[in-house]
A and B are shown apart, each in its own frame.
Chain A
Amino acid sequence: MTLSVVLVMWLATLKGVVFGESNDPIPDAYVSVLGSKKGAFTDSEGKFLLEDEISSNSKLVVEFAGYNSDTIKIGNQIDFQINLKPISLETVTIQAKNGLTNMRTTTLQVQSIGAGELFRAACCNLSESFQTNASVDVSYSDAATGAKQIRLLGLSNQYVQMTVEKIPVFHGLAMPYGLNYIPSALISSIQISKGSGSVVDGYDAMSGQINIELKKPQNSDRLNVSAFIDSKSMYQADALFSHRFSDSTSTLLFAHYSDNLKCGDENGDSFMDMPDTKQVNIYNRWFASRGILRQQAGVKYIGERRKSGQMEDMLNPYKVSINTNRFEAFAKEGFIINPEKHRSVGIILSASYHDMESNYGLIPYDANELNTYLNAIYQSDLNKKLELKCGLNGVIDNFDEKLNLANDNTNERSVGLFSEFTYKPTKRISAILGLREDYINTDSWFTTPRLHLMYSPTEEIQVRGAISYGSRTPHLYAENPSLLITNRDIIITEDIKREKSWNYGVSAQWTNDDSKFEPSISAEWYYTDFKEQMLIDYNADPHMIIISNLDGRRSFSNTAQLEASIKLFRGFTLTGAYRHTTVKQPLDNGKLVQKPLTGRNKVVATAGYETKLKKWQFDFTAQCNGKGNMPKPDEENPLWEKTYKAFTLFNAQVARHFRYLDIFVGCENIGNFKQKNPIISAKEPWSENFDGTMIYGPIEGRKFYATVKYKIDYK
């Protein structure tokens, strides 16, 4: 027998007055019954009259700019006197500039990239989402596989915790290609957090965290299909469909296919410039809310076939093939226990299985990885100034690798407890102190402390500081398959230990919303000091790669960045950024040197113009990458230069938006800059000098592209 409760509704006439500070009446405040589309505005005396259907559970919502909105249970009341309170610093409206936002209310330094910013440049997948961003570098890991790596604070992607909606992803086997596994049509926004982030998310963010928010069924387009093609013959098609069964239940289905019409060798080195990659990506997620319960669940499949190497007409060609099948599933349960005290419990579960079969020349490399993750979080306000988050975390990571050079068959289990206090004694000061204690079966117990501070002397200025600790388990070949695109001898001198580092950072930002120019300036400095690190030394011997532990020696990254933005006139925004990075490791027989293939200086400038109704958008980006060192060549027979020169890349795009259609046309690398000879001894891939790992710049030259999107909103 099922018992159901039917709420009795009746038509009521509600009236009242809305006051602000000092009991002054507020005209033009908006009053509505929660969940109803009807509403009324207050008159010049702050009075309102609203006729609507209500029940015994109905609530009245009162809103006005500059004041915290109020929600009142109606009950039997029909006449109201409501006092609104002025808005506090915590709820200051975040200003969005072309979709790029430096968050002003968060204690951690977070930069959010919204949809508007994502589509200012060619954006097929996550790897191409940072082209207008000065903080994140994306480059190819090698000249053959198409694997891309991110650099944040000068440190490569193994030190960046990548999460999708706060679920860690792209570790281990998925790391080299993970940036290609999220099509841009599925991305809603990206948050970049520098320094080690919150203990709630784990212990392994050492330079920062990049969180990707995907499109959600409860607020997505009804239908969104897009097609992309470029002059290098790569094409891609995406389709997204969402359906809302009710206000509380919805689903989203997404499919992606990408391929190459042909693969060429424009630089004449006998190797394909870009791999022939076919990818299928299917994703389904659900959302449901019932009373205090919020539920989400989803499944994903990625199938990818990647082929590269020498062109077919070569005798005994060097070939690379990587076949991947990846399955992911997640579930999130949220229980809102007391919304007024922000008291809730959240449980995140995820699982992934990654199976890879690959060949690098004559070296077969097969591996699979099963990862399961649990994070249970309780959060609550303890009082008006103090908030607590605490919880439990567990990870199982089973690694099975078959490689004739060395096998990594780690079965790692970790369990951890964490707690984090957020203290806000005044409107302008906040502090987050987090601590977690974890046990890993391959190591022991370890503690991860993190402290973040923010001081906002005025609404326009925020100053932040952070000290944090991070650690991770490295997987040599899974995370660096580019090591297999070389005939150097790989010497592993000892068992590799877990990596550990301290990260220190300070930042300041100033934004003036009141000026019509909307200027903003930010400055930051971060220092990452490694206590233990897996060193991959290309410098000690041009015919070897030596793998060792840091073992008490010094290794660090020191980054300073200055960024400014201004709206010269309506629709036209200029942004400029300069970044200086020093990354030093004890390479070259223990000598502390700048890490090869890491330039010290970078300048990014963007100009964007959009017409009044944003029907036309024009974007231009210039990236100047400073000179750097190559790994040391052989002194007697140098096959490459010791250094590389600075180079500049230019991108431009024009977009036209219609009611249901968007068209983007652009050009990447307008100047057609290409790294010369990206592969050493390319025509003798079986010789001892063959090396495809020394990449500092683009391999492809100029590329024209076009994207068409068709969308239907949810009415």
Chain B
Amino acid sequence: MIGVMASAKEKEKVAKKDTAEFKVGMHCQGCVNRITNELTYTTGVTDLKVSLDDKTVWVEFKPQKISADSLFSKLKSMGYTVEKKQ
């Protein structure tokens, strides 16, 4: 019984996804394309929305593969002004 519960919890942990939203200083469609290309193929990212109008990047990810802080650092390392959205 305990073994079954642990397995179910592990499955729940694996299935869990987190989201994070960032304000990113994007200037043009080129920035959108760059960010989209980079994050789409980042391990752990499962969904992504990049808005030039709102200057926001919304990411859905698997927390066991990548963290919100790693995504923040990745965007900063691309040279953009980034702030976490509350």
Give chain A's interface residues, CB within 8 Å of chain B: 28, 30, 32, 37-41, 63, 65-66, 93, 219, 612-615, 658-659, 713
Q: How far is the CA of A612 from the CA of B53 in the complex (A)?
A: 20
B74 surroundings in chain A (CB, below 8 A): none
B71 interface contact, C-beta 8 A? no
Question: How far does the Cβ of B47 sit from chain A's closest Cβ, in whole Å?
Answer: 5
Contacts A28-B23, A613-B46, A613-B48 known; 10 new A-B pairs at CB < 8 A = A32-B25, A38-B25, A40-B81, A41-B83, A65-B51, A219-B30, A613-B40, A614-B40, A713-B33, A713-B37
What are 13 A-B pairs with beta-carbon distances under 8 A?
A28-B23, A30-B23, A30-B55, A32-B25, A37-B25, A37-B79, A37-B80, A38-B25, A38-B81, A41-B23, A65-B53, A93-B53, A713-B34
B12 interface contact, C-beta 8 A? no
Given A30-B25, A65-B55, A612:B46 Cβ within 8 A: yes
Q: How far is the CA of A30 from the CA of B53 in the complex (A)?
A: 11
B51 surroundings in chain A (CB, below 8 A): 65
What are the 8 closest A-B residue pairs judged by CB atoms, nearest first? Answer: A39-B25, A659-B41, A65-B53, A39-B81, A612-B47, A37-B79, A65-B54, A613-B40
Size of the chain B interface, CB-CB below 8 angstroms: 21
Q: How far is the CA of A40 from the CA of B81 in the complex (A)?
A: 7
B45 interface contact, C-beta 8 A? yes
Q: Which A-chain residue is minimally distant from B33 (CB atoms)?
A: A713
Q: Which of A32, A39, A65, A219 has the most CB of B within 10 A?
A: A39
Question: How far does the Cβ of A397 sit from chain B's closest Cβ, in whole Å?
Answer: 38
Q: Kindly identify which residue among B45, B79, B80 contacts A613, using a CB–CB cutoff of 8 Å.
A: B45
Given A40-B81, A612-B46, A28:B40 Cβ within 8 A: no
Q: Kindly identify which residue among A41, A66, A219 contacts B81, using a CB–CB cutoff of 8 Å.
A: A41
B48 surroundings in chain A (CB, below 8 A): 612-613
Q: Which B-chain residue is minimally distant from A219 (CB atoms)?
A: B30
Question: How far does the Cβ of A47 sit from chain B's closest Cβ, in whole Å?
Answer: 14
Question: How far does the Cβ of B34 sit from chain A's closest Cβ, in whole Å?
Answer: 7
Whether B79 and A615, one on each chain, are in contact in the complex, defined by CB atoms closer than 8 angstroms, is no
Question: How far does the Cβ of B71 sit from chain A's closest Cβ, in whole Å?
Answer: 14
Whether B40 and A615, one on each chain, are in contact in the complex, defined by CB atoms closer than 8 angstroms, is yes
Which B22-46 residues sit within 8 Å CB-CB of chain A?
Answer: 23, 25, 27, 30, 33-34, 37, 40-41, 45-46
Q: How far is the CA of A39 from the CA of B24 in the complex (A)?
A: 9
Q: Which A-chain residue is minimally distant from B41 (CB atoms)?
A: A659
B25 surroundings in chain A (CB, below 8 A): 30, 32, 37-39, 41
Whether B55 and A613, one on each chain, are in contact in the complex, defined by CB atoms closer than 8 angstroms, is no
Question: How far does the Cβ of A640 sit from chain B's closest Cβ, in whole Å?
Answer: 52
Question: How far does the Cβ of A673 sit from chain B's closest Cβ, in whole Å?
Answer: 38
Whether B54 and A613, one on each chain, are in contact in the complex, defined by CB atoms closer than 8 angstroms, is no
Q: How far is the CA of A66 from the CA of B45 in the complex (A)?
A: 29
Q: Interface readout for B64-86 with A: 1 if CB under 8 Å, 0 if not?
A: 00000000000000011101000
Question: How far does the Cβ of B57 sit from chain A's closest Cβ, in whole Å?
Answer: 13
Q: How far is the CA of A63 from the CA of B26 in the complex (A)?
A: 10
Q: How far is the CA of A264 from the CA of B42 in the complex (A)?
A: 46
Q: Which B-chain residue is minimally distant from A32 (CB atoms)?
A: B25
Q: How far is the CA of A553 from the CA of B23 in the complex (A)?
A: 65
Q: Which A-chain residue is minimally distant from B34 (CB atoms)?
A: A713
A32 surroundings in chain B (CB, below 8 A): 25, 27, 81
Question: How far does the Cβ of A174 sit from chain B's closest Cβ, in whole Å?
Answer: 33
Question: How far does the Cβ of A156 sit from chain B's closest Cβ, in whole Å?
Answer: 36
B80 surroundings in chain A (CB, below 8 A): 37
Q: Which A-chain residue is minimally distant from B40 (CB atoms)?
A: A613
Question: How far does the Cβ of B41 sit from chain A's closest Cβ, in whole Å?
Answer: 4
Q: How far is the CA of A132 from the CA of B23 in the complex (A)?
A: 37
Q: Which of A37, A38, A219 has the most CB of B within 10 A?
A: A37
Question: How far does the Cβ of A115 sit from chain B's closest Cβ, in whole Å?
Answer: 10
Question: How far does the Cβ of B72 sit from chain A's closest Cβ, in whole Å?
Answer: 14
Q: Which B-chain residue is minimally distant from A44 (CB atoms)?
A: B86
